[in-house]
Structure 1
Amino acid sequence: MPKNKGKGGKNRKRGKNENESEKRELVFKEDGQEYASVIKMLGNGWVETQCCDGEKRMAHIRGAFRKKVWITQGDLVLLGLRDFQDEKADVILKYTPDEARMLKSYGELPENMKISENQMMEDSDEEVNVEFDIDEI
């Protein structure tokens, strides 16, 4: 039988889920940063985003976020703009839906920006009933 050389399995690599238990401080944008909504997941750590300044940018998910913070379509993120490439940026931070609502209430986000569409659908109290008849199809 082979010797165990590691210090644990899958659960040790996954780590503790510390982010959900504690509230973090709300981070506002600074110079060289911009709020953006994720439009499309492109793969290989790249996403297509719609920024608040009206531009579409390709954004790179930095290495510290790759397997720890899951970014999906419709999420609100904070981008670090590049001086040498205006059409590309780097994802610095992902906002939770609660933080996104707070940013909108503070007036940091434009009114026409949708925040976390998939999360908003889960929060709504209205039920959508769709009725159809198999014979009609």
Structure 2
Amino acid sequence: MPKNKGKGGKNRKRGKNEADDEKRELVFKEDGQEYAQVLRMLGNGRCEAMCIDGTKRLCHIRGKMHKKVWIAAGDIILVGLRDYQDDKADVILKYMPDEARLLKAYGELPDTTRLNEGIGAGLDEEEDATANDYIDFEDEDIDKI
């Protein structure tokens, strides 16, 4: 049988979750950059995002973030605009939900922007609303059936 020539298994490829819980400094946009909200993921390291200036752009996730920072629909990101292609941009940074709330509080994001940090919380509210829609049967009602 041949010897194993690899460098390790699945856990080595997965790597460490490098200090996601640490507080990082809030990064604001500069010239040539714009805030955007991800509309949908397209695969192949790309996503479609609606920028705050009202333009829908095809965004490319940079290699440093690829397979390390997971971006989903509804996330707030910072994109670098291209001066030679207006309909394309590059994802520079993904904001965590608390950072996105801070950006909205500072007035960087418009009030019409819906932050999807509480996708689970929104479902809980709907479940509470539908939980009251059921009918209570008494024991005598069940006996009649």
TM-score range, shorter chain: 0.7 to 0.9
AA paired with 1:39?
L
Larger Rg: 2
Q: Give the whole-Å Cα distance in 2 for the aligned partners of 1:121 and 1:10.
A: 30
* Partner residue in 1 for 2:75: 75
What is the aligned residue count?
131
Question: C-alpha offsets along residues 89-121 of structure 1, whole Å, 9 cap, x if unaligned?
Answer: 001111110110011111111111111x2x323
- Percent identical among aligned pairs is 66
CA RMSD, Structure 1 to Structure 2 (Å): 1.9
Question: C-alpha offsets along residues 35-79 of structure 1, whole Å, 9 cap, x if unaligned?
Answer: 000011122222111111111111111122221111110000000
* Partner residue in 1 for 2:128: 128
Moved more, 86-95 or 11-20: 11-20
**TM-score normalised by length of structure 2:** 0.81
AA paired with 2:29?
K
* Partner residue in 2 for 1:111: 111
Structure with greater proportional helix content: 2
AA paired with 2:24?
R
3-state SS in 2 of match to 1:30 = coil
Q: CA deviation at 1:129?
A: 3.4
Q: Structure 2 stretches of 5 or more lacking a match? A: 136-145
* Partner residue in 1 for 2:12: 12
Is 1:36 paired with 2:56?
no
Q: CA deviation at 1:7?
A: 2.3
Q: Give the whole-Å Cα distance in 1 for the aligned partners of 2:21 and 2:95.
A: 16
Q: Structure 1 stretches of 5 or more lacking a match? A: none
Q: CA deviation at 1:20?
A: 2.2
* Partner residue in 1 for 2:89: 89
3-state SS in 1 of match to 2:128 = coil
Q: Give the whole-Å Cα distance in 1 for the aligned partners of 2:106 and 2:63.
A: 30
3-state SS in 2 of match to 1:83 = coil
**TM-score normalised by length of structure 1:** 0.86
* Partner residue in 2 for 1:51: 51
Q: CA deviation at 1:12?
A: 1.1
